[in-house]
Amino acid sequence: MRDSPVAGPGRRLLVTGGAGFIGSCFVREILGRRDGTRVTVLDKLTYAGNRANLAAIETDPEQASRFRFVHGDIAAPDVVGPLVAEADAVVNFAAETHVDRSILEPEAFLATGVVGVHVLLEACRAEAADGGLRPAPRLVQVSTDEVYGSVANGHARETDPLAPRSPYSAAKAAGDLLVGSYFATFGLDVVITRGSNTYGPFQHPEKLIPLFLTNALDDQPLPLYGDGLQRRDWLYVADHALAVEHVLIHGAAGEIYNIPGDTERTNREVVGLLLEELGKPWSLVRQVEDRPGHDWRYAMDGARLQALGWRNRTDFREGLASTVAWFRDNEPWWRACKSGDWTAYYDRQYGSRLANGLLVAELAAGDDVSSR
């Protein structure tokens, strides 16, 4: 474990992107422990950022006393500099995160994923150069399995070459490379995590599971891309968030840690399980035009994180059941996400796809939901 106060009571964390899906889970988990940790969230509140995700903290006087929210952009040095200066560690969740949106409008992905990460690194470098008594903050860059590209066979290791294929994953890969370069060149205390497909409460309903879940609750069609046999590895959000904290505390400087979910499924399998959990029929599913450049499979090796002592806790069926229960119980939350600009986005993304969509036969032979 490091000597600097990334683990002990009284540590001060700067959590960027902390009003989003995984970042807010990280903040709720850590502040909910009531161990004295102080958290500042810096968030731009894009369409994906939501103060409501932090409401449980802001309405609890003890947690609220250790919490501060700053509305701002990680690409703004004047905002970032003073916040980094007072932090023991920076955990960067901030990013544009939806692959489909990166195909429609890539610019914001580069602004946050590349320029924003660079601004965070420069702020950490300024602290390291300061030569004060306090060590410069550790930076955890929260990255993704998508940087490895589509993995035909086996499982990607941290040492594998990067092969991103969407503007989203290319921006994330560029961020990772910048972070690595600041370790090699300036000796900054940085670590990178690469998580797999994450699901759970508070996920914006643009992503597969919450989109299909909320559409199905409204008996609306479920737009399955292509043949639906693409494979993803599903990770429950609290496991992802706590694995990031584990790496913050125990990870070696300059290292990368994969966070697999150990739950590889085809999209058809996921949709089948979700509909079963909801008690909704497969006839809602439409086969629609595929995502351009759609990665067929993601899969990562988790040995390095396991060696650090980490184990995921949530089984996929249990995680899916609690996700469905949460969305059933929190309808105003997801209806608000699906209002305003949502209609124009949905129309642009799915309008012509759904107009030409086909009914899909239920699970193909050999596509066994009980496998793995």
State in Å, rounded, how far the first CA of the chain is from the last one. Answer: 34
Please, are residues 190 and 138 in contact by the beta-carbon 8 Å criterion? yes
Q: Is 145 in the site for ligand DAU (CB under 6 A)?
A: yes
* Sign of the alpha-carbon dihedral angle for 291, 234, 245, 32: positive
| Minimum distance, C-beta of residue 238 to ligand DAU, in the bound complex (Å) | 16
Is there a catalytic annotation at residue 146?
Answer: yes
Positions in 102-141 near ligand DAU (CB under 6 A): none
Residue closer to ligand DAU (CB basis): 208 or 242: 208
Using CB distances below 5 to 8 A depending on partner kind, what does residue 230 bind out of ligand DAU, ligand NAD, none? Answer: ligand DAU
Is there a catalytic annotation at residue 107?
Answer: no
Q: Is 224 in the site for ligand DAU (CB under 6 A)?
A: yes
Please, are residues 114 and 179 in contact by the beta-carbon 8 Å criterion? no
Rounded CA gap, 168 and 279, in Å?
34
Q: Is 20 in the site for ligand NAD (CB under 6 A)?
A: yes
Q: Is 204 in the site for ligand NAD (CB under 6 A)?
A: yes
Binding mask 142-181 for ligand NAD (x = CB under 6 A): x-x---------------------------x---------
Torsions phi, psi for 72 (to 5 deg):
-175, 175
Tokens matching residue 197: 């497909």
Q: 3-state DSSP call for residue 210?
A: helix
Using CB distances below 5 to 8 A depending on partner kind, what does residue 99 bind out of ligand DAU, ligand NAD, none? Answer: ligand DAU
Question: Distance of CA 221 to CAs 284, 287, 290, Å?
Answer: 5, 10, 16
- Which strand ranges, in their side-by-side order, compose the sheet holding 285-288? 222-225, 285-288, 358-359
Q: Is 94 in the site for ligand NAD (CB under 6 A)?
A: yes
Positions in 194-213 near ligand DAU (CB under 6 A): 196-197, 207-208, 211
Q: Which stretch binds ligand NAD (CB under 6 A): 38-46, 280-288, 306-314, 319-327?
A: 38-46
E-state strands within 8-66: 12-16, 38-43
Burial 231-248 (b: 16+ CB within 10 A, else e): bbbbbbbbbbbbbbbbbb
Active site residues: 145-146, 168
Residues contributing to the site for ligand DAU (CB under 6 A): 97-100, 144-146, 196-197, 207-208, 211, 223-225, 230, 232, 267, 291, 298
Binding site for ligand NAD (CB under 6 A): 16-17, 19-23, 42-46, 48-49, 73-75, 93-97, 112, 116, 142, 144, 172, 195, 197-198, 204
